[in-house]
Amino acid sequence: MPGDSQTLSLKEAVLSAIFEEMEADERVIMMGEDIGAAGGVFKQTEGLFARFGAARIIDTPISESAIFGLAVGAAMTGSRPIVEIMFGDFITLVMDQLVNQAAKVHYMSAGGYSVPLVLKTGIGVGGNLGPQHSQSLHAWLAHIPGLKVVMPATPADAKGLMKAAIRDNNPVIFAEDRMTYNLSGPVPAGDHLVPLGKADIKRQGADLTLITISRMVHTALAAAETLAEKSIDAEVVDLRCLAPLDMETVLTSVKKTGRALVLDGAHLSFGITGEIAASIGEAAFDYLDAPVMRLAGPDHPVPYSPALEQFSVPGTDQVVAKVDEMLG
């Protein structure tokens, strides 16, 4: 019934969305490594094979390039594929099909073809998986016209954004931080949709705006609670999507608070923090009481060592310290 909800992990919420969309539309198929009877390496596709069978849940060989090439062709000829790329690092293996084909076919065919597919992948630091399984390449992808980039932070958003991504007629990157897979929260029952390209205010505040996405939303919220103990009232903006990017919500918040700190779990240099900070400077300079500041991971490969890995993504203490620096 409308208004009903259930408690799900983020991983379960995404799986719920896929189940519902596959039940509703026989054109939706899924392909990837170990997604069939095994239920996925992280059990993120558990139950799909038993329900929909091998014709729609396609267990592929270990060849990301072949998997994604198959998906692009299927999307152009009437299917709506979801492609599971186990680690976001392996997107590097599909860049030609993704950047030069999927992102451009609609434009190059003058609208004659669409490529309605979802590339679903896990990103982020954590689990001591080393430098080749811990990257977050969303800034690369958001730079490509023709791609949409979605990064949920909560189970409710994850379900609603996945359903919207599957229904979209463009290629959508759906990047989940692996450290949020087991994060639980209320998820609306039924046909819950979250529009792509619409940010969400996760915490109202008056003194400064913390702008971020994905896992870092939870870091920002924790920092906001610590700052509240110092009588600093922080607003937290969850971008939810990088492309399209909802700068209207960001600018409305910054014009209200007069200060902005942009956070990201990826590397600092040439990343999303610089793009957002520059956009704020261009559109809201007269409203700022202080320079826009940025905080993200250091510019080095993610270490395998647990003792070092923890410093590869900003934590709550670093956010609080940065805000203290901003406020003098």
Residue with tokens 């990301």: 64
116, 80 Cβ separation under 8 angstroms: yes
SS (H, E, C) 268-286: CCCCHHHHHHHHHHHHHHH
Strand order in the sheet with 148-150: 57-59, 28-32, 80-87, 118-123, 172-177, 148-150, 241-243
**How buried is 168 (Cβ within 10 angstroms: 0-12 exposed, 13-18 middle, 19+ buried)?**
middle
Strand order in the sheet with 208-212: 200-203, 234-238, 208-212, 260-267, 293-297
Query: Over the Cα atoms of the chain, what is R_g?
Result: 20
Instruction: Tell me the DSSP string of 138-187.
Output: HHHHHTSTT-EEE---SHHHHHHHHHHHHH-SS-EEEEEEGGGTT-EEEE
Q: Identity (one letter) of the amino acid at 236?
A: V
Instruction: Tell me the DSSP string of 14-68.
Output: HHHHHHHHHHH-TTEEEEETT-STT--TTSTTTTHHHHH-TTTEEE--S-HHHHH
The pairing of beta strand 28-32 with beta strand 57-59: parallel
Number of DSSP helices (H) and strands (E) in the chain, helices first: 12, 14
Q: Does residue 267 have an active-site annotation? A: no
**DSSP-assigned beta bridge partners for residue 263:** 295
Instruction: Give the active site residue among 133, 138, 192, 218.
Output: 133
Active-site amino acid positions = 133
